[in-house]
Amino acid sequence: MAKKLLLVDVDCGVDDAQALMLALAAPQVEILGITCCHGNSTIENVCKNVLRVLQTCDRLSIPVYGGASRALLGHSTDASFYHGVDGLGDVPDAISPGLDSLQKEHAVLAMLRIINEYPGQVTLVATGPLTNLALALNMDPTFSQKVKNLFIMGGNMESRGNTTVCGEFNFASDPEAAYIVLNGFDCPTHIATWEFTCRNGLPWTFYHEWLSQNTKKAEFMREITAHSEEYTKNCSKNDGEEWTKGFVSCDSYAMAAAVDDKFVTDVTHCVVDVELGGTLTRGMMVLDTLGKLQRKRKAFVMTKCDKEKLKFLLIQALQ
């Protein structure tokens, strides 16, 4: 059976690392390249983190490309409160690869080239702000027509934010990019929203069993997740938000959907858009379930999934 070809765009924090390791361990998957974007940390840290993950998995042969360092309008964000300043829990690592291990080609140019080399064959998975994708689409309006499928972790479906009142981090970090992608991509688009991931969190008992595996990968994961675990537990004590009640590896849901066709068990198929001008709602994803926008381009917004499949894929990732 031919392998699934993936091109992965990340802002590599802890859950991006989990998603990457999930894909790297899937025997039916071949990752053609990893493009890096601003988001959870600086672009330099994001690139270093991807290389560090690949080193841990003995997969440094996969090319890594540095991309957009800030949003289309120049704004910069970070999620150091959750991921640590460096994006991977601020765990020192003196032997991780340096930036000289990056490819010289810019991420957006690499994205265009790879998709053109494999037209209609590559699934694109985006787990950070959509800046690189928007730039690629603006450079080549036919770009998305050559992508087999697009899987996004980002946005929301019930106006519940985690960064602003109504904005999810990835979309709120570059609302214009999200708008361009959702309005411009012609390939089948699948979205794992913030609320979807929260509703499908895994038990903390599974999380501890997952990390208790006696492998190099599990040791690495234990180290980089300590900061985010502590942050989550402190939030649970203070406000008891839904996302704190279990282990939620947001980016892994989009990756699991890309890797396993049967992972998602139900979707809402509708037109989606991004609010750009609202005082309180800028960056919010809007679902047009009534068809008021009268547009043909629709997205598959995930609503239910097989959590046992996710557990299996996560366990496999650390073996």
With 80 as the cut, is the pLDDT of residue 13 above it? yes
Collapsing DSSP to helix, strand or coil, 86 comes out as coil
Q: Regarding predicted confidence, which is higher, 40 or 75?
A: 40
For 85-125, the pLDDT digits (tens) are 999 999 988 788 889 999 999 999 999 999 999 999 999 99
- The percentage of the chain sitting over the pLDDT mark of 70, rounded to a whole number, equals 98
What is the 3-class SS of 292-312, one letter each residue?
Answer: CCCCCCCEEEEEEECHHHHHH
Distance CA 152, CA 310 (A): 17
Residue 49 has pLDDT above 70, yes or no: yes
Q: Which helix (DSSP H) or strand (DSSP E) does residue 191 occupy?
A: strand 189-192
Q: How far is CA 160 from CA 58, 192, 244, 298, in A?
A: 39, 14, 15, 21
The answer to whether 152 touches 160, Cβ cutoff 8 Å, is no
Other CB atoms within 10 Å distance of the CB of residue 127: 30
* Percent share of the chain, pLDDT over 90: 89
Per-residue pLDDT at 88? 97
pLDDT tens sequence across 254-296: 999 999 999 999 999 999 999 999 999 999 999 999 999 989 9
Q: Please confirm, yes or no, whether 58 is among the known catalytic residues.
A: no
Number of folded domains in the chain? 1
Q: Which residue has the higher pLDDT, 184 or 235?
A: 184
Per-residue tokens: 68 = 């957009």
Any idea what DSSP says for residue 265?
Answer: E
**Edge-first strand listing for the sheet containing 264-274:** 64-65, 29-36, 4-10, 122-126, 149-153, 189-192, 299-305, 264-274, 285-288
Name the pLDDT band for 304 (thresholds 50, 70, 90). Answer: very high
Q: What is the pLDDT of residue 239?
A: 63
Summarised one tens digit per residue, pLDDT across range 67-87 is 999 999 998 889 998 999 999
Could you say which of 9, 11, 78, 260 is catalytic?
A: 11
φ/ψ of 51, rounded to 5, equals -60, -35
Domain that holds residue 221: 4-317
| 275-284 exposure pattern, b = at least 16 Cβ within 10 A, e = fewer | beeeeebbbb
Q: Are strands 264-274 and 299-305 parallel, antiparallel or unpaired?
A: antiparallel
Beta strand pairing call for 4-10 and 264-274: unpaired
Q: What is the pLDDT of residues 186-229, one digit of tens each?
A: 999 999 999 999 999 999 999 999 999 999 999 999 999 999 99
Q: Domain holding 112: CATH number?
A: 3.90.245.10
What are the counts of helices (DSSP H) followed by strands (DSSP E) for the chain?
12, 9
DSSP three-state, residue 159: coil
Tokens of 156: 């929301």
Model pTM above 0.95 = yes
pLDDT digits (tens, 9 = 90+) for 233-251: 888 766 657 777 889 999 9
> How much is the mean pLDDT over the chain?
95
pLDDT at 237: 67
